[in-house]
Amino acid sequence: MFRRRIIICSQHAGTQTRVRAALEDDFHHFRVEIASAEGRVTRVDGAAPRQPYTLCGDAVARLDSLLGMPISPTAHEVTRVTDPTEQCTHLFELAGLAIAAAARGTALRLYDVEVPVRQKGRTRPRLSRDGAALLAWEVLGSAIQGPMPYAGVDLYQGMARWALTALSTDEAEAALVLRRATVISLGRGMPLDAQVHAKPSGNCYSQQPRRASEALRVIGSTLDFACTPERLCADDLGWLSFKEYGDGC
């Protein structure tokens, strides 16, 4: 069982908002903090407590490309502002979720995802939001088999475009969170620590061909939360509380 948790907490004061978001799964542990005022992003920062490659944390600086963008309730809007392939995928998507929370005025959001080990290419990924079951798919290979309206949607080909036009903003966000977790869960069956460095696929910051050979594999960075989901983001709870600013979520 692959698990991923995302927690987003916000503080709102008039037209100013601070949002902190944490993500943890078997392969990653990232944090993002954004501030907004008058409807625009005024500050963005991040951290990589646990990363698969040595250069992943360097991508925090690339989040500065989001400064000044209008906040939007659509998390995917960040992809219109800058090139996602020059970002750490997970930091970047987490920033999008944080910005969307700021735009919506969401005080607290919790996503929990679990993806069972594939059997003959099949799995049944599930997502809960704020403690309530929301999505459950039947997946074969890269194609969602059901239920409707997801049947026939491919995880790799055009899913974001489809979700943003066919679903409500909130459900599209959840669906794309589940899509990302389902895709990366494939790593559970791979000998990741046998890699010397990132693959030069061009898909993200560390995998850009010009720097992939310098993005060395962090041996032992993969953990297993199959039987201990309560440990996910446990180390982030104090930070997420905003206690240094008074009461938080």
pLDDT value of residue 144: 97
Kindly state whether residue 244 falls inside one of the protein's structural domains.
no
Kindly state whether residue 242 falls inside one of the protein's structural domains.
no
220/207 Cα distance (integer angstroms): 19
- The DSSP secondary-structure symbol of 47 reads E
Under 8 Å between Cβ of 183 and 153: no
Question: Which residue numbers in the chain have pLDDT < 50?
Answer: none
pTM of the complete model: 0.95
Under 8 Å CB-to-CB from 197, ≥6 apart: which residues? 53, 212, 213, 214, 215, 216, 217
106/163 Cα distance (integer angstroms): 21
- CA neighbours within 13 Å on the CB side: how many for 133? 5
pLDDT value of residue 14: 78
CA dist 165 → 75, 93, 134, 173, 199 (Å): 14, 19, 19, 12, 33
Q: Hey, which residues does 44 pair with through a beta bridge? A: 34
Q: Hey, which residues does 108 pair with through a beta bridge? A: 9
Kindly state whether residue 174 falls inside one of the protein's structural domains.
yes
Kindly state whether residue 245 falls inside one of the protein's structural domains.
no
pLDDT value of residue 248: 55
Kindly state whether residue 39 falls inside one of the protein's structural domains.
yes
Under 8 Å between Cβ of 71 and 46: no
Q: Is 98 exposed, middle or buried (0-12, 13-18, 19+ CB in 10 A)?
A: buried
Print the domain residue range for 230: 1-236
pLDDT value of residue 245: 66
Number of domains in the chain: 1
> Of 106, 34, 97, which is closest to residue 67 (Cα–Cα)?
34
Kindly state whether residue 93 falls inside one of the protein's structural domains.
yes
Kindly state whether residue 249 falls inside one of the protein's structural domains.
no
Run of H or E including 173:
helix 169-184
Under 8 Å between Cβ of 4 and 129: no
Kindly state whether residue 246 falls inside one of the protein's structural domains.
no
